[in-house]
Amino acid sequence: MFHYLEKTLASQVVAPTRRTFLKLSAGAVGGLLIGGGVAPIRDAQASTPAEAFVQPFVHITPDNQVTVIVKHLDMGQGSANGLATLVADELDADLSQLSVQHAPSNPNVYKNLLFGVQGTGGSTAIANSFEQYRQAGAAAKAMIVQAAAERWGVEPGTITVSAGTVSGGGNSATLGELASAAAEQPVPETVSLKAPEQWVYIGKETQRLDLPVKTQGSVGLFGIDLQQADALTAVTLRPPRFGATVASVDDGSARAVDGVVEVLQTPAGVVVVAQNMWSAMQGRTALEVTWDETNAEMRGTDELAAEFSALLDQPGNAAPARGDAAGKLASAATVIEADYSFPYLNHGQMEPLNATVMFDGEKAEFWFGSQIQTLDHNVAAAVLGIDFPNVSINTMFAGGSFGRRATPDAHLTAEAAMVVKAWFDATGEARPIKLVFTREDDMASGYFRPMHMHRVRAGVDENGMISGWEHRVVGQGIMIGTPFEAFTVKDGVDHSSVEGAADTTYDLPDFALDTHHPTVGIPVLWWRAVGHTHTAFVMETMMDELAEAAGIDPVAFRLNHLTSDARLAGVLREAADRVGPAPDGTHRGIAVHKSFNTYVAEIADVRLREDGTVKVEQVTCAIDCGVAVNPDNIRAQVEGGLGFGLSAVLREEITLTDGQVDQLNYPDYPPLRISDMPTVDVHIVASAEAPTGVGEPATPPIGPAVANAIYRATGQRIRSLPLTKHGLA
C-alpha cells in the first residue's frame, strides 16, 4: 500500500520540521529487543553498554549479542527477521547470537528509502532495505576485521569470519570480544558486498527469530500488553454516525463506576479513563451522551449503491487512454459488458488499535505499533504543542495491520495525544494512559476498504484477440482529501482506485478508463493490496469471460496477451505447469496479477457442497518476487495473503443503515476459519532480480481464481462480492 507515495511524503509532510530531525541521536534506541535465544526479550533502554559496538543498524555487545535495529514495523510479515538476515549474512554472524529490535523514530536514519520518511507499507520493507542492511552488515564486519588485525598484528586480508567466529594468524575471537575495539574503527566509506554464491543465510530456510516468544504468550511484544506502573486505561464512546459530534454529556453514572478515574472529551468522542479496561468499558456503558448529527453522514450502503450505480452511466474523469477503444468495440466480433460491485471491508487485525502515551507537559513518549513513524511523530508534536525532539516513539510489534495502522491522518496518534493532553490539563499528573479500541470500536469506526463499482465493456475479434476495452470505476478515492492527494490523484483519477487496471500489462492497445470518486463521509483506507483487491477481480474474471468468448483456453488466452510482460507470463506458465490434477469433483479457476512489483498466479480447485456453498480445496501458486531472501517466509506470506483475500471473498462485508455501521464485532463479520482454509502449494520462481515485496501480492488473485472456478461449477458469473450474496458461502 501507499507505494504511490514513493519519494513524495518527504517534501509534503516533513520539510517544515526537517531541521529538528537532525537534533535526534542516531544511536538512541527504544523499545523491546527480541531473539537471541536465551534472553528473548529485554528492555534495551537499560542495555547497550558504553563499550558496545553501536551503529545505526547493528549493535554488538561484549556479551556477544548482535542486535539488528529494524526500521520497519513488524506486523507479522516477518520483515524484522528479513532485515536481520541481511545483516547477519554480510556480517557472518551466527544466527544464535542474533536479536532484532524496532528502531526509534528518526527519519534521518531510518527512513524508508522509497518514501523519504520512516514508514512501512506497499510491501517495500525488503525491497528498500536489501542494499542498505547488507551494507550495514558488511561495514560492521570490516570494522571487526580491522580491529582483529590490529590486535593480532596480522593483515586484514588474512582474517576470516564465519558463523560469528573471527579467525586469523592462529588466533580466534567472537564478535563480542572484538566489539569494543571495532567501535573505535572508522566506518568504511565503501564496502563490497558478497556475490550471491557467497550468501550463507539469504535464500536459505532460516527460522524466524520472533517465533519462539510468539508460542509462549508474546509477553512484552504488543502495545496492548504494555505494563507500566501507574498506568491508566482509556476507552472512547464514539458517535454512532460519521461526522457527528458531542452535543451533551451526563457522566454522573460513569464516574460512579468503581475504578473510573476521569471522564474527558476529545473530537473523537467522550473518553472514560479508568484503573483497568473492565472499569473503563463499564464506565463507557454508563455514559449518557447526545450527539449533534448536523454534519453527519446519514446515507446507508443501499443509498450509496444506487448513487454509485447511476454514476456508472455517466462519463467520469479520464485516465490517459490508448488507441481507439470505442471504435474497436464497434467492430468487435463479440462484446461483453459487465458491472461489478465490491463492499466496504474492515481490516479486523486481531490486536485492536491501541496506543500508550506518557506526557508531562513538555515531553511525550509513545508506545504502539506505529506504521508511519514520521507522520505519527509530526502529528503527536502538533497535537501536544511541543517540538519534534520532545516526542519519542517506541514501535511495538503489531498484532496484524493489513493497512489499518498506517493512516494518512494519523488519527490514532492524534486521539491518544488528545486524551493524554486533556488528562494532563485536567489533573496536572504525568501518567501513562493506554487508549484501547474495543473490537466494536475497531470494526465500526471506519477506515474501511472503500466500496467500489466497475463497468467494463470489452470485445474480442475473430482471431481471438481483445478488441477494445472500456472501463469505468466508481468509489471513494483513498488519497482524496489527504496530504498525498497532489501526488496520487491525477486529472481527477485516484491511482489507488485504478491500480491493477489502468496500468495492466496485458496487451490492450485500445483501452480507455475513467473514474468517479463520490464524496462520502465514511473514512476509507488502504486494505492489504489496496486497489488491486477489486481491480484484479474485474480484470481476471473478465479475461476468463473473454477467453471463453474467443473459444480459447484461459491460460493460452492470457499468454496471447502477455507478450510484453515476461515475468507475469512466467508465473502463469509456472503455476500451470506445476499444478497437479484437480481433486475429484472439484472445479478449477485461474488468475494472475502483478502488484507491488511482484507477480503471482493462483489456481483454485473448488468444490460445491451439497448445500450449495463452496469449499476452496486447494490453491496452487507461483510467485516471482526476485531474489527470495527467506523462501519459507515467502510461502507463509502467500498462504496467509491468499487466506486473507479468501476471507473477504467468502463472507466479509461492511454495510451501513441510515449512516450507522451494521457490523459491530466478528459474529457480524465472520473472518476465515480453519475449516475454510485450502491446502496451499507455493512455487517460487528462481530469480536474480532485485527482491520485491510479498506481504500483499498473493491477496488479489484468489478472488478471481475462485470466481472463475465457480463459473466452471455452476455456469454463474460472479460479479459482486462477498459470495454470501449468492448463497455460495
Partner 1 sequence: MTRIILNGTETDLDVSPDMPLLWALRDSLQMTGTKFGCGVAFCGACTVHIDGIPARACQTYIGDIEGAEVTTIEGVSSPEAQAIQAAWVELQVPQCGYCQSGQIMSASALLKETPKPTDEDIDFAMDGNLCRCATYARIRKAIHRAAEILEA
Handedness of CA 268, 269, 275, 281 (dihedral sign): negative
Which CB atom, from 275 or from 334, has the smaller least distance to partner 1? 275
Sole binder of partner 1 in the list 248, 294, 463, 675 (CB under 8 A): 675
Which CB atom, from 182 or from 672, has the smaller least distance to partner 1? 672
Sole binder of partner 1 in the list 99, 647, 663, 708 (CB under 8 A): 647
Rounded CA separation 502/505 (Å): 9
Cα–Cα separations (whole angstroms), residue 50 to 148, 180, 566, 709: 19, 9, 53, 62
227 touches partner 1 (CB under 8 A)? yes
Pairing of strands 58-60, 53-54: antiparallel
Query: Could you tell me if 382 and 85 are in contact, meaning their C-beta atoms sit under 8 angstroms apart?
Result: no
Site for partner 1 in 341-380 (CB under 8 A): 348-352
222 touches partner 1 (CB under 8 A)? yes
Of all residues in the chain, what percent are helix, strand and coil, respectively (each to 5)? 35, 25, 40
DSSP assignments along 638-706, one per residue: HHHHHHHHHHHHHT--B-EETTEES--SGGGS----GGGPPEEEEEEPP--SPP---SSTTSTTHHHHH
Helices (H), 428-550: 439-444, 485-488, 495-498, 532-550
Q: At its nearest, how many Å lie between partner 1 and the CB of residue 729? A: 15
Angle between helices 411-427 and 373-384 (to 10 degrees): 30
Which CB atom, from 269 or from 678, has the smaller least distance to partner 1? 678
Which amino acid, 71?
A: K
42 touches partner 1 (CB under 8 A)? no
* Interface segment toward partner 1; rule CB under 8 A; list 173-181, 207-215, 371-379, 384-392: 207-215
207 touches partner 1 (CB under 8 A)? yes
Q: At its nearest, how many Å lie between partner 1 and the CB of residue 678? A: 8
Going residue by residue from 4 to 23, which x/- string records binding to partner 1, judged by CB under 8 A? Answer: --------------------
Which CB atom, from 322 or from 673, has the smaller least distance to partner 1? 673
Which CB atom, from 181 or from 628, has the smaller least distance to partner 1? 628
Q: At its nearest, how many Å lie between partner 1 and the CB of residue 218? A: 5
632 touches partner 1 (CB under 8 A)? yes
Which CB atom, from 190 or from 675, has the smaller least distance to partner 1? 675
Which CB atom, from 209 or from 263, has the smaller least distance to partner 1? 209
216 touches partner 1 (CB under 8 A)? yes
Sole binder of partner 1 in the list 592, 672, 707, 709 (CB under 8 A): 672
398 touches partner 1 (CB under 8 A)? yes
Site for partner 1 in 254-283 (CB under 8 A): 258, 275-278
Peptide bond into 722 cis (omega under 30): yes
Q: At its nearest, how many Å lie between partner 1 and the CB of residue 281? A: 8
673 touches partner 1 (CB under 8 A)? yes
Site for partner 1 in 70-109 (CB under 8 A): 75-78
Cα–Cα–Cα angle for 310, 311, 314, rounded to 5 degrees: 110
Element containing residue 560 per DSSP (H, E): helix 554-560
Sole binder of partner 1 in the list 61, 97, 101, 233 (CB under 8 A): 233
Q: At its nearest, how many Å lie between partner 1 and the CB of residue 235? A: 11
Pairing of strands 466-475, 391-395: unpaired
Going residue by residue from 293 to 332, which x/- string records binding to partner 1, judged by CB under 8 A? Answer: ----------------------------------------
Write the CB contacts of 596 (distance below 8 Å, at least 6 apart in sequence): 3, 122, 123, 124, 529, 692, 693, 695, 696, 697
192 touches partner 1 (CB under 8 A)? no
Q: Please state, as a whole number, how many other Cβ atoms lie within 10 Å of the Cβ of residue 279.
A: 21
Q: Which of 92, 91, 72 is nearest to 82 (CA)?
A: 72
Q: Which of 635, 631, 633, 632 is nearest to 621 (CA)?
A: 635
Site for partner 1 in 436-475 (CB under 8 A): 438-439
Q: At its nearest, how many Å lie between partner 1 and the CB of residue 430? A: 21
Sole binder of partner 1 in the list 163, 302, 666, 690 (CB under 8 A): 666
Sole binder of partner 1 in the list 643, 693, 697, 700 (CB under 8 A): 643
Q: Which of 386, 347, 349 is nearest to 366 (CA)?
A: 386
Rounded CA separation 379/368 (Å): 14
Rounded CA separation 332/175 (Å): 69
674 touches partner 1 (CB under 8 A)? yes
Going residue by residue from 487 to 526, which x/- string records binding to partner 1, judged by CB under 8 A? Answer: ----------------------------------------
Q: At its nearest, how many Å lie between partner 1 and the CB of residue 219? A: 6
* C-alpha cell of residue 236: 472512547
Supply the Cα-derived Rg of the chain in whole angstroms: 27
Q: At its nearest, how many Å lie between partner 1 and the CB of residue 274? A: 10
Which CB atom, from 214 or from 717, has the smaller least distance to partner 1? 214
Rounded CA separation 206/632 (Å): 8
Which CB atom, from 212 or from 551, has the smaller least distance to partner 1? 212
Which CB atom, from 119 or from 678, has the smaller least distance to partner 1? 678
Which amino acid, 622?
A: A
Sole binder of partner 1 in the list 30, 122, 164, 399 (CB under 8 A): 399
Write the CB contacts of 98 (distance below 8 Å, at least 6 apart in sequence): 35, 36, 66, 67, 68, 84, 88, 209
173 touches partner 1 (CB under 8 A)? no
**Burial grade of 347 (CB within 10 A; 0-12, 13-18, 19 or more):** buried
Which CB atom, from 483 or from 671, has the smaller least distance to partner 1? 671
Q: Please state, as a whole number, how many other Cβ atoms lie within 10 Å of the Cβ of residue 305.
A: 18
Which CB atom, from 60 or from 232, has the smaller least distance to partner 1? 232
Which amino acid, 572?
A: L
Q: At its nearest, how many Å lie between partner 1 and the CB of residue 391? A: 26
Cα–Cα separations (whole angstroms), residue 33 to 78, 137, 399: 15, 18, 16
678 touches partner 1 (CB under 8 A)? yes
Q: What is the DSSP letter of 192?
A: P
Q: Catalog residues that contact partner 1 under the rule CB under 8 A.
A: 75-78, 207-208, 210-219, 221-222, 224-225, 227, 233, 258, 275-278, 348-352, 397-400, 402, 438-439, 632-633, 636-637, 639-644, 646-647, 665-667, 671-680
